[in-house]
Structure 1
């Protein structure tokens, strides 16, 4: 399914099924969420070649894909997987904390008041 050695980034993202439409792919590129060989893609018309490494940021997930080919159409998922090699790190399983994350510390009672505490405060300031 290789048509040419180069292809527009928005078409390639659409053909590889990274996004649902070319217009969403163009918005993703213009927003600065796609990098081609560590350089931000500035326009949807930027070209990708076989061997380029793309870094794509999508909703709490970062994909690192190596371009293996350019597509000629948006085909089934099996065909789309032939366009790239996934080099992304495995996702962190749900429920596990990030090892570098520091848990937020708060003194006991320093949060929002409970309903009972609010009523007691209202009684103190009531002018009746």
Structure 2
């Protein structure tokens, strides 16, 4: 981010649009699909409901949103530079969903 002098400010945290990050991380096939889910009020950033696709997010934020038939909870580890392959996209976040634990009665 540029400071008042027009030069990059080293203290400014890197930020990216929410809809763009969800698309780059391969949670949605297009930015317009991601934007539609956000505008519907179905996405939370750090527990706060958002409805603007242009909301800035940064590393360390926690997102909660529906995907398919389940609710996803992820922590942003990095902001992507592009929509790359799936392995690259998976490095952008940490999945906070509890893994399916085996049933102790079985």
TM above 0.5: yes
3-state DSSP class of the match of 1:80? helix
TM-score by length of 1: 0.66
Distance in 2, matches of 1:6 and 1:35, equals 17
Q: In the alignment, which residue of structure 1 is the partner of 2:37?
A: 28
Q: What's the CA shift string for 1:51-73, capped at 9, x where partnerless? A: 00000112320111000010111
State the 1:5 CA deviation.
1.4
Larger fraction in helix? 1
Q: Gaps (5+ residues) in structure 2?
A: 1-12, 102-106
Q: Which digits, 9 at most, give the CA deviation of each residue in 1:58-117, with x for residues without a partner?
A: 23201110000101110000000011000012369xxxxxxxxxxxxxxxxxxxxxxxxx
For structure 1, list consecutive stretches of 5 or more residues without a partner in the other structure: 93-128
Structure 2 residue matching 1:75: 3-state secondary structure: coil
TM-score, length of structure 2 as denominator length = 0.79
SS at match of 1:17: coil
- Determine helix, strand or coil for the equivalent of 1:43: coil
Match of 1:48 among 48, 57, 66: 57
Residues 40, 91 of structure 1: alpha-carbon distance in 2 compared, 3 angstrom cutoff: farther
Which aligned segments of 4 or more residues in structure 1 are displaced greater than 2 angstroms? 89-92
Aligned equivalent of 1:104: none
Let me know the Cα RMSD of the aligned residues: 1.7
Q: Which of structures 1 and 2 has the bigger CA Rg?
A: 1
Inter-partner Cα distance in structure 1 for 2:89 and 2:53: 19
